[in-house]
Amino acid sequence: MKVGVVGLGLIGGSMAKAVKKKTEHTVLGWDVSETIRYSALLMEAVHGFMEDGNPKDCDLILLGLYPQLTIEYIKAHAKDFKKGAVVVDCAGVKRVICEQVQAVAAENGFTFVGAHPMAGVERSGFTYSTADMFNGATLVVTPYKGTDLGLMNALSMFFKKLGFARLKFTTTEEHDAMIAYTSQLAHVVSSAYVKGALSDNFKDFSGGSFQDMTRVARLNENMWTELFLDDADYLTDELDILIGHLQEYADALKSKDAEHLRALLRDGRKMYAYHFNGYWRDVGTIDSLWEANMEVLDPENSGIDIFDEKWKIYSRNPVLPAQKIGPRAVVQDSLVTEGCQIYGCVKHSVLSAGVVVEEGATVEDAVLMDGVVVKAGAVVKRCILAENVVVGAGAKIGGDGPIAHVGTGLTIGAGATVKEGAKVFDSVKEGEEVC
């Protein structure tokens, strides 16, 4: 596919370099600076340019712009994006962007996803961008409600190819609140700290502590001013808390209250890391989600025992009738939730609320989300079917190999075949075969 990267600064430039180095996709770059554009071309960070920054040829567009420029770019090019294109912004705040562009995306037939790479260096600009910037990093993602599960899985696999170790999915509000504390507050404190009266005379008097405190003081004032103002409510809350704590230290020192000072210092150590020995699994991909569900059915080997009263599992359940198991149905080694109607054969599978398996149908080693219907004679094996999928009579999905996936609300026509490992994002016609 063609990947457009708009804004070739530190993050955008690193995205372009990573995509070009680590994938087979074509990278089309754009930056308002002609110097940066040609630097990117000469350094082989891109294959070419987007004409005047127009995204019309791109399947995936990555935006490395400041928040307001991100909004302006999306609105200006709303009708230029390809139908079905995916636009991902990489700015450091999410509410102000997502609230303004999600409706624009819906109206114009493209998908917008907010994201924030938790990576970077103290310097800014294309010069300091690298293809390995994201190795081992976390990508925080703020998809809007209703974003297709298959799309998110595809994006997860794409970004992991760029080096990201994990994707963290959250809301725009939680993102901005956490970033105010973990990133923005640190930059404010560092910037304020270097303004001390003795800062010009630190040479030969500094060690690791000074370096740790001042490392991020060398910041891009234009970018950080915008980020701070867009997140001012959360950031000022954190500053007020910090100022209150600093005042406590100042009061203890002024009064020479050793006991109080000792208590304050002791409280400041209360950050712990524990070695975790229990069950843990990252379910950021379709395959890992399927594996986690299969492990629920294998308590002896996985360590998950849903009947263990000491380890309670809380879930939100819909108000539905009890399960109905037909007189000729076969259900073996499976988890069947409320509202399911089983008339066929279900083996070693997890069925969510309201699933229907008609007589003559077979479901094996599968995860079926809410509202899935498997019609008579269909065979579903080693796959995940998202919400409200309809599998037509005699259709076949999956096999003995890699996990197949069918996206939300799709229909697999009667007699159609979805091969093992296939990722289906559009409905499949009757008798059609998808690999």
Per-chain mean pLDDT for the chain: 90
**d(Cα 231, Cα 416) in Å, to the nearest integer?**
50
- Asked if 177 contacts 234 with a C-beta cutoff of 8 angstroms, the reply is yes
The whole-number pLDDT of residue 289 equals: 87
- Asked if 138 contacts 167 with a C-beta cutoff of 8 angstroms, the reply is yes
Least confident stretch, 5-14, 82-91, 211-220:
211-220
In this prediction, what percent of the chain has a pLDDT beyond 90?
A: 71
Q: State the average pLDDT over residues 274-301.
A: 76
Structure tokens at 162: 């760029």
Smallest CA-to-CA distance from 155 within 284, 28, 57 is with 284
Q: Is a pLDDT exceeding 90 seen at residue 111?
A: yes
**d(Cα 429, Cα 224) in Å, to the nearest integer?**
51
Domains, the chain, ordered by start: 2-170 (3.40.50.720), 175-195+209-267 (1.10.3660.10), 286-434 (2.160.10.10)
Query: Which pLDDT tens digit goes with each residue over 313-366?
Result: 667 677 888 999 999 999 999 999 999 999 999 999 999 999 999 999 999 999
Q: State the average pLDDT over residues 167-182.
A: 92
Q: State the average pLDDT over residues 130-149.
A: 88
Task: Indicate the residue type of 204.
Answer: D
- Asked if 411 contacts 396 with a C-beta cutoff of 8 angstroms, the reply is no
**d(Cα 204, Cα 181) in Å, to the nearest integer?**
32
Confidence of residue 150 (pLDDT cuts 50, 70, 90): confident
Q: State the average pLDDT over residues 67-83.
A: 95
386: left (phi over 0), alpha (psi -120 to 50) or beta: beta
Query: Model pTM greater than 0.95?
Result: no
The whole-number pLDDT of residue 300 equals: 75
**d(Cα 342, Cα 185) in Å, to the nearest integer?**
55
| Better-scored residue on pLDDT, 195 or 273 | 195
Smallest CA-to-CA distance from 362 within 384, 348, 379 is with 379
Instruction: Report CA-CA distances (Å) from 295 to 164, 369, 374.
Output: 25, 17, 23
Smallest CA-to-CA distance from 141 within 98, 103, 110 is with 98
Q: Is a pLDDT exceeding 80 seen at residue 158?
A: yes
The whole-number pLDDT of residue 66 equals: 94
The whole-number pLDDT of residue 273 equals: 61
Smallest CA-to-CA distance from 382 within 280, 293, 296 is with 293
**d(Cα 146, Cα 354) in Å, to the nearest integer?**
19
Task: Tell me whether residue 287 is exposed, middle or buried, using C-beta atoms within 10 angstroms of its C-beta: 0 to 12, 13 to 18, 19 or more.
Answer: middle
Query: Which pLDDT tens digit goes with each residue over 380-398?
Result: 999 999 999 999 999 999 9
Q: State the average pLDDT over residues 54-83.
A: 95
Helical ranges in 46-94 per DSSP H: 67-76
The neighbour count for residue 336, using CB atoms within 10 Å, is 21
Structure tokens at 318: 């819909």
Query: Which pLDDT tens digit goes with each residue over 219-253?
Result: 889 899 999 999 999 999 999 999 999 999 999 99
Instruction: Report CA-CA distances (Å) from 287 to 23, 85, 156, 311, 363.
Output: 20, 24, 11, 25, 18
The neighbour count for residue 76, using CB atoms within 10 Å, is 11
Confidence of residue 275 (pLDDT cuts 50, 70, 90): low
CA gyration radius, the chain: 26
Query: Which pLDDT tens digit goes with each residue over 187-230?
Result: 999 999 888 777 677 766 767 777 778 878 878 898 999 999 99
Which three-class secondary structure state does DSSP give residue 398? strand
The whole-number pLDDT of residue 418 equals: 97
Q: Is a pLDDT exceeding 60 seen at residue 276?
A: no
